[in-house]
Structure 1
Amino acid sequence: MNSNLKYRHELKFLINYHQFYLISNRLRNLMSRDKHAGPKGEYHIRSLYFDDISNKALHEKLGGVRDRVKYRVRIYNVEDNVIHFEKKIKRNDYIAKVKEPLTRDMYEAIIAGNYEVLRQPDKPFMMELYNEMTHNFLRPKVIVDYVREPYVCRNGNVRITFDKELRTGLHSTDIFNKELNSVRAIDENLIILEVKYDEYLPGYIQTALQLQGLTRQSASKYVICRKFLKFNTWEDH
């Protein structure tokens, strides 16, 4: 593992609304709401995922490759005040994230095919993106859209999220479109539960989650949405 990165545990489960109500009611008494959550305890996430000319990220996930990366641009509540280009790194059962902020103009330039905005030699991740786009034809593939209900705990640096209403944009890279033509990509009764933590998961949270009654999934939102669109890919221009 790269010692400069902070790797964390990540567990994913597909649960139904009955399980969601039971677990979330327990967690409300044990954990804090994420400070970024709105009045309903939620916020909206929209990500534009990228893949290369051979759809490496998609095929490695489907093929069960344990060490892999994914690239995405992420925004919140369909606003442009916070835009990040992110790389999610998976090593065995651990995950890490590298990210750099983008301006709206930089985002628009990248979508238009002007990758020179990424050529910033003092920022290794930006240079990595520049090389991926110019040499491996990293391109936007699919929009992933959902509502997140997050809980946090300082003990173990635990973060538990319920991701609801998973939707995908139909052949669009316009993540700032508030009227995006999107469709549900997962059964409407299903929610993705994610449990992230550092060295340990406190016992009282384990008890509240009752993980032994849940089936762990490899619930990649990117793959779910790509499979929903039947592996359609973008034309490179």
Structure 2
Amino acid sequence: MSKVFHSDGTLRSRFECKYVVEPSELPALREFFSTFMEQDENTSNRPLSATGGRAYTVSSLYLDSPRLALYQDTVDGAKNRFKLRLRTYDDAPESPVFCEVKKRMDGVIYKRRAPVSRTAVAAFLDGEQYALERESDTVDAAEFSMLTRRLIARPTLRVHYQREAWESRGADPVRVTFDTELRYADSPNGELSCEDGDWRQTYLTNPILEIKFTNTFPGWLGNLARRFGLVRRSVAKYVICVNAARRTEIGALRYRAS
């Protein structure tokens, strides 16, 4: 059965802080967040995972230019940059694919996404330039389509992980996620499956903690960092996976970024 994935309250415009934590710290981190947050509705009904939490699958097919310009912008730390991805949460034929544009502008994250059918995505990747706009009459779908055409962007690889999500509602919503089991698969033909593929692990096996908020810096974040010795860092999953793919020289990626 397909499941509708609801948007979080910080989706369209937010700040993000990322950390790499030890697996052994997850129980204490969950206890810390559980005092003022709840697991989101996409997570709360899931069975317990190997890490002791409840998580759902996230699989993203990234699109990039022939020379991986979007990857390179992230590596170079470009002040204004974006990513293009097609996100899925399961392989049910009726489940939507989310066309996402994730932008970083002056340190603020702007995320736009539109749900479309797998049929429309397949047609779009097969060269029907306006297949997404025909199905989804939204600014978000149009922007994704326009940026893809402008870059001559094509599928590169899929990024796959398990996500445990917590959130607090209110005037200044906060969302916390733990991402584990980061893997990737070469996908030059636009494969969308969450499960099928030659999945490979990256060098990063530790959980990734992300804290996302809209306006006000969470007052508890300083205490959290001191208690667990957290150091904020750049953790770009797409970059990590492309680097891993280039080291192993899989698929078309060996010929791309210079």
Q: Same fold (TM over 0.5)?
A: yes
Distance in 2, matches of 1:105 and 1:132, equals 20
Q: Which amino acid aligns with 2:166?
A: Y
CA contact (8 A) 1:185 1:225 kept: yes
Alignment of 1:133-148 (within 5 A): 133-148=148-163
Alignment of 1:63-212 (within 5 A): 63-80=76-93, 81-120=95-134, 123-155=138-170, 156-171=172-187, 173-176=190-193, 178-188=195-205, 190-204=206-220, 206-208=222-224, 210=226
Equivalent position SS for 2:231: coil
TM-score (norm 2): 0.80
Aligned-pair identity in percent equals 26
CA contact (8 A) 1:50 1:72 kept: yes
Q: How many pairs align?
A: 231
CA contact (8 A) 2:178 2:207 kept: yes
TM-score (norm 1): 0.86
Greater shift, 26-35 or 178-187, is seen at: 178-187
Using the TM superposition, give the Cα deviation of residue 211 of structure 1 relative to its aligned residue in structure 2, in angstroms.
7.2
Greater shift, 96-105 or 5-14, is seen at: 5-14
CA displacement, residues 73-112 of structure 1 (integer Å, 9 cap, x when unaligned) = 0011344513210000111221011111110101211232
CA contact (8 A) 1:115 1:133 kept: no
The question of 1:229 aligning with 2:237 is answered: no
Q: Which amino acid aligns with 1:102?
A: V
Using the TM superposition, give the Cα deviation of residue 208 of structure 1 relative to its aligned residue in structure 2, in angstroms.
4.2
- In structure 2, the residue matched to 1:59 is 72
CA contact (8 A) 2:160 2:194 kept: no
- In structure 1, the residue matched to 2:42 is 36
Kindly report the root-mean-square deviation, in angstroms, between the aligned alpha carbons of the 2 structures. Answer: 2.6
CA contact (8 A) 1:51 1:71 kept: yes
CA contact (8 A) 2:90 2:193 kept: no
CA contact (8 A) 2:14 2:214 kept: yes
Change beyond 3 A, Cα 1:179–1:19: same
Distance in 2, matches of 1:235 and 1:227, equals 13
- In structure 2, the residue matched to 1:219 is 235
Using the TM superposition, give the Cα deviation of residue 176 of structure 1 relative to its aligned residue in structure 2, in angstroms.
1.9
Distance in 1, matches of 2:255 and 2:154, equals 9
Using the TM superposition, give the Cα deviation of residue 64 of structure 1 relative to its aligned residue in structure 2, in angstroms.
1.1
Greater shift, 111-120 or 20-29, is seen at: 111-120
Distance in 1, matches of 2:78 and 2:72, equals 9
Distance in 1, matches of 2:107 and 2:133, equals 32
Using the TM superposition, give the Cα deviation of residue 119 of structure 1 relative to its aligned residue in structure 2, in angstroms.
4.4
